[in-house]
Amino acid sequence: MRQSALSATLILLFTVLAGCSSKGPEPAGTAPASSAKPQQASTIAIDLAIPIEPLARQVNAQIPLVIERLDDFEMDESGRFGVKYRIHRDQIRMGMRGSLLRSTTTFRYGLTGCARTRTGLRSATYTMWPCVSCGMSEAPREAAAVLDTTISVSRDWRVRSVTTAQPVVLRDDCNVTLLNIDISRWKVAPFINDQLESTAAAIDTRIAADTTLHQQVASVWKSLTTPLEIAPRVWLSIAPEDLSLGTLSGEGPVVTTTLGLRARPSILIGNRPPEVQRPLPAAGGQQARSGLEVGFQTILPFPEAATLLESQFTRSASGSHPIRMSNVRMSSGRGGEVVFTADAAFDQPLGGRYDGPITLRGRPSFDPSTQTIVVADLDYRLEEPGLRTRIADLVIHGQFRERLAGAAKWPVGPRIEGLRRSLEAALNRSVNTNVQFSGRIDSVRMLDLRVENGRFVIPAVASGSLKVTLTGW
């Protein structure tokens, strides 16, 4: 089964944030997958659009466009008169008007009625005369027809409908009377009523037989309840809890509604978590707000963060006194501190060259205004200083600490913009032959930074919109 575009969106989101270095996650082992789940459920609102045109095309194919009898007369039951006629139906046009699906068409007709008259008083032969005509050798007459369909979704995610025909409007009545009988009413009105009854039945039958909505919702739900491996021993658990459907409505050729998905997405690191298949919940009437907003948190283990920090020092190793760091290792300290140990190499004014271990410590935090992870109150200690180095460090300690703090940062702004583009690309794709996803990501916001069990936990929110279009009923 192809994974849904919603799953692809979340996969890209977590992959960029959790797998942002060349190192793997944590060493393989036998420990079960672990995660830090959001305290509050996220609400994902998905705008659903179902085009009406395929339904209109199928209904038009079921109902005849033309009925005519021009070669001979169709006699009434008493045999007193006969008619020839031509009745043509325009295409049935369908469109939403609020919560109603309205179908309209125009019937164009003409007829000729003739009395059945003996050719003589004692003759056994008859002729069709006198005759009256309407809409045959002149512009056809018109009758307007309207049907209204009330649509809904049952609790098992199937579309239901009730279609009723409105009274026919004769825009220019024929008023052809023969033998005191209005033959236009005798022939045209029953035919139009039959056509409307057939059209109403075709609409309701076609909608009732369709299972597209149920199949697509079930497919999306199944993919969301299955853990997805997005990197070696890194699993995405979306953990959906509920799925609701808003009111069906629209204006014009599309039925619109909103799917509301409540979920607790999280990253799990370790062995594959057990698969828990939750049954598709019944469709509810809860109205979800429009748009896509996912509150989530991603996990950055210390080994990956150390690699990023080492890369950051490498990029900043320029100028007259570059600082080089290698073999960076991280661990948790007291009071929310993070401890960095590394091999350092730099030229120290007054103290000469230092090439040996260094220990840094400070409290990491996230600065939303600059979209940067920083280490506040950073301080350091040289582990193997000589006498000259110790003396020099007493003089320049504050200045050197500022230089280290300036390099100990993780600018994530460019990655967030790249992520936004990647997410937007994932939201614009075909899931299968009947379902098209289109959407956008307006923003990805990193909110905070926490240190838990040897890893950074970064809450974030992705905001935008997602539209699902069904190209077939």
**How far does the chain reach from its first CA to its final CA, in angstroms?**
20
| Kind and range of the H or E run holding 219 | helix 212-225
User: Does residue 374 carry a pLDDT above 90?
Assistant: no
What percent of the chain shows pLDDT beyond 70? 82
The distance from CA 281 to its chain's CA centroid, rounded to whole angstroms, is 18
CA distance 308 to 301: 11
Q: In 10 A of CB 173, how many CB atoms?
A: 14
Is the pLDDT higher at 153 or at 277?
Answer: 153
What is the bridge-based pairing of β-strands 372-382 and 409-411? Answer: antiparallel
Task: Determine the Cα–Cα distance for residues 326 and 313; give it in Å rounded to an integer.
Answer: 9
What is the rounded CA–CA span in Å between residue 167 and residue 154?
Answer: 29
Percent of the chain at pLDDT exceeding 90: 22
Query: What 8-state DSSP symbol labels residue 30?
Result: S
User: Strands 42-51 and 455-470, how do they pair?
Assistant: parallel
pLDDT score of 321: 66
Secondary structure E strands in 217-322: 228-231, 234-237, 240-245, 250-252, 254-263, 266-269, 292-301
**Alpha-carbon distances, residue 162 vs 201, 345, 394 (angstroms):** 9, 79, 86
Three-class SS state of 89: strand
| Residue-level pLDDT at 26 | 38
How much is the pLDDT for 74? 92
What token pair was written down for 443? Answer: 């923003």
Q: What is the mean pLDDT of the chain?
A: 79
pLDDT(386) > 80: yes
33: CB partners within 8 A, 6+ apart: 235, 268, 269, 270, 271, 272, 273
* Ordered DSSP codes for 377-444: EEEEEESS--HHHHHHHHHHHHHHHHHHHHHSEEE-HHHHHHHHHHHHHHTSEESSSSEEEEEEEEEE
> What's the rounded mean pLDDT across residues 292-310?
78
CA 174 to CA 181: how far, in whole Å? 12
Contacts of 172 (CB under 8 A, 6+ apart): 141, 142
Q: Which residues pair with 145 in a beta bridge?
A: 105
pLDDT tens digit sequence for 442-472:
888 887 888 888 888 877 777 888 776 665 5
Instruction: State how far the Cα of 74 lies from the Cα of 61, in Å rounded to an integer.
Output: 26
Distance CA 245, CA 46 (A): 10
Given a contact cutoff of 8 angstroms between Cβ atoms, the answer to whether 199 and 250 are in contact is: no
* Nearest-5° Cα angle at 216, 210 to 221: 140
Question: Distance between CA 451 and CA 445 in Å, rounded?
Answer: 19
DSSP 278: P
Confidence grade of residue 262 (pLDDT, cut at 50, 70, 90): confident
Q: Residue 326: which of 347, 312, 338 has the closest Cα?
A: 312
How many Å apart are CA 463 and CA 444, to the nearest integer?
Answer: 6
Residues 6+ apart with CB under 8 A from 68: 85, 86, 87
Q: Is the pLDDT of residue 164 over 90?
A: yes
Instruction: Quote the pLDDT of residue 40.
Output: 59
Does residue 130 have a cis bond before it (omega within 30 degrees)? yes
The mean per-residue pLDDT over the stretch 126-135 comes to 90
Of residues 324 and 9, the one with the higher pLDDT is: 324
**Type and span of the H or E element at 209:** helix 183-209
Other beta carbons within 10 Å of 198:
14
Identity of the residue numbered 180: N
**Tell me, what's the pLDDT at 117?**
92
Give the model's confidence band at 192: pLDDT under 50 very low, under 70 low, under 90 confident, else very high.
confident
Lowest mean pLDDT, pick from 20-34, 112-126, 200-214, 396-410: 20-34
421, with CB counted inside 10 A (0-12, 13-18, 19+), is exposed
